Amino acid sequence: MTVSLSGLGGDELFTGYPSHIAAQRFHYIDRLPRCLLRSLRALAANGKGSRARRARRFLDATLMTPETRFASRYLQATDERDRAGILSQELRESANQSAATEYLMELFQAANSKDFRGRVLYADQKGYLANELLRTTDSMSMAHSLEVRTPFLDYRVVELAARMPMSMKMRGFTTKYAIRKLAERLLPAEISRRPKSGFNVPLANWITPASETFVRDLLAPDTLKRRGYFDVARVAIMLDEHFLGRANRSQWIMMLLTFEVWHRQFIDRAPAAGHRPSAMAIA
């Protein structure tokens, strides 16, 4: 096979991500009186346990502006407190930890939609789709001499989607509503009404006790200390929490592993300045 079709753009143009469901949920919640939301937050203040913490976090989000809520939480893969805690003291003081939030805020401001749900879609199109999905699809497909075409990203489809009201993209909590209605004319109901199934990395099958030795070897304290990027004690706590079954830290562990492998491949093995690698070295 030399050419394949991709559905890239379907989620970003017509809704499909959990963040879009969250935006719809807050679209309804934001109509409630603020005094009611503040009262609920006060009631949750004294709760204990993980369920109470989740309730407080959710109610905290209801009191934020939509832009702050999504730029700082719902469009980021990790928690702000975890990001700050895992960095080394030196990096914590020098790095701009708000850079991702600031970038998302800029995208929200650049969007023309008066409906915040539309601005979330715009941020996904300009950020996640352009900087991540299309980039990785292109690099991985070209590495295997495969041409991937993206019909949803035909400029005419993109322009049509931009003109469509949100009610045609999401009806209640049904995503891709217009596409589903179109699919009903062409496909059996079990396909057109099928729930979304994302292409998630099976971290639960990868970061298991069977891989603990491999993980701890790559993220050894001496290695982390020599790098100077991460807090050695905090990483050790994360590993213990995960492999002892106290918390699911697979996402963080995967990111740390990826960073370490990347560092070994492209930083540790980088040629010295002014040195031109030979053809044999490149091969």
pLDDT digits (tens, 9 = 90+) for 173-229: 999 999 999 999 999 989 988 888 878 889 989 999 999 999 999 999 999 999 999
What pLDDT sits at residue 279?
37
What pLDDT sits at residue 274?
52
Task: Please say which residue of 192, 214, 244 terminates a domain.
Answer: 192
Check whether residue 236 and residue 97 sit in a common domain: no
The pTM score is: 0.84
Check whether residue 63 and residue 186 sit in a common domain: yes
Residue 271's pLDDT band (boundaries 50, 70, 90)? low
Check whether residue 250 and residue 135 sit in a common domain: no
Instruction: List Cβ neighbours of 29 (8 Å cut-off, separation of 6 or more).
Output: 37, 62
What pLDDT sits at residue 83?
84
Check whether residue 43 and residue 111 sit in a common domain: yes
What pLDDT sits at residue 82?
83
Check whether residue 81 and residue 25 sit in a common domain: yes
Residue 274 lies in a domain: no
Check whether residue 149 and residue 170 sit in a common domain: yes
Where in the sequence is the domain holding 220, given as residue range(s)?
Answer: 203-268
Task: Please say which residue of 170, 192, 214 terminates a domain.
Answer: 192
What pLDDT sits at residue 131?
93
- Of 23, 25, 1, nearest in space to 11 by CA: 23
DSSP string, 140-167: HHHHTT-EEE-GGGSHHHHHHHHHS-HH
Task: Please say which residue of 167, 192, 217 terminates a domain.
Answer: 192
